[in-house]
Structure 1
């Protein structure tokens, strides 16, 4: 009976070194293999050309590299690319490359499906099937970096955890992935170019502050009035705005980093002046920036983008209170790659 091979990327560098010593080989082989896996993103043991054939065979006999496959790639008229990514167990997640004049951003997934139940988001209709492993998150970034170089002639510059799933509900694996992405022994990207976007899990926001993370935080807020927020994001009943705000105060005290709020304005839901004023009130405790995001309907018509007058009203109320605000136009809409649309129609 065949024993199940271990995923080689689940091992630390020290564990790899120990493995080689246990096989009567030299510890430095572990360093070589680690470099192939994380710096050179090798997909197979065959690629490891500075390791002897015999050693590669031994790796093949003991381990597997559970590499993702880009199952389907769609390119939008605006240059956005969406990948349907097949995992080793045949589950699928989606990730997106968003190019602009000044940057190329990878939008990556952290869960298959989602733990939360936001009513306006297509991903929330897929029950959470499992968390992604660190290497599966890392692989999405490598795939998008390769596409960015191929189609846009430049490397990836930024990463946002705004794909499928709630990153803070897969906290340990997300942190391990970011460690591999930012480490000089991995992809060497700056953590300041990484944004982790959360719907707001107060306990985990405090943990991030305690863990002294170096990446940036964004919060999907969408309403600063509890009953409205609960009606569109039902988990808000468990983590109300007072708890969220307290955790963000804690985050700001520890990091001194400006907080970004992601905010969609919907017709008839949060498009009144009182909504904008509640948002100003909520933002006051720390320097913040509000991204007003264009909404992308997910088919049944309950949620519709507010008209431009409502957006203008938000902008003027926020600016009058010295809060930085940007209006983010959606990209990749023609391939269902925009915010809130990732649901594996494939």
Structure 2
């Protein structure tokens, strides 16, 4: 445990304001949506507040029912959790014993590795190729002790994706004793014909579990609600290791209310596409080359150590993410904000880089 490095969340706005005495701080660090909860979700939260003397529904019956209908799967195939990373914890608990192995790309989402290490399992980190998951190399890393293989799709922190044909060939070759975890936390942002809905694999009988979340485009990161879609027997096993009330009443009510707003979902997807182009242009104007992203964030190498640039931008009132904890110590990750927030990032980056070249 002494050698375990915990997950490092993005700095809160209030903490930066307090520490640096800044009035305006823009947070582009944690891949949160910039628009907040849907109006219907806020109304649901207000209604739910009247019953907070009662425990939440431990089985999340209404939410699971609605998600099963949305995805055309069975109720028994939906497992809610405290964010999709909560489900990563459940999967680790039920699948891993000391000495077992997981395989994932690297740099990638740290919880895959952290949750394995906590249980005495061994993470096999496979280097990315061109900032994308190297699925061929991951197949070579799978061994008899491998229990879980994670495919972060799109990858966090690089924002890149694998194509349908690549995933098809990968899943054709994953051994039968291995469960593939397809993490699609950013699924709703993506409009690319080569991007596959992981539920297609589940419905075709593949040994996969698909992760989704309400933390991103739905604007509910502060409530911690996500879910897995997987085989019924796996969902039953998850129910044995998760805490009964991991998903609170507000989270369940807000998530349920968010499912019936396709127009707002489309508006946010379109706004993100515009913002992604704006942010990409800003980075290139300042000499940074972001990797091609299909999500709501951009990743760029900035040198051997990104912490100095992170600290300098922080003093300018802009929080970005240094990605050392993800396995990329020389890069930053920047979330797409509103047009105004992106412009403030551009101005802060200009001041920082201009100061760096002054004699």
TM-score where L is the length of structure 2: 0.27
Which of these two proteins has the greater Rg computed from alpha carbons?
Answer: 1
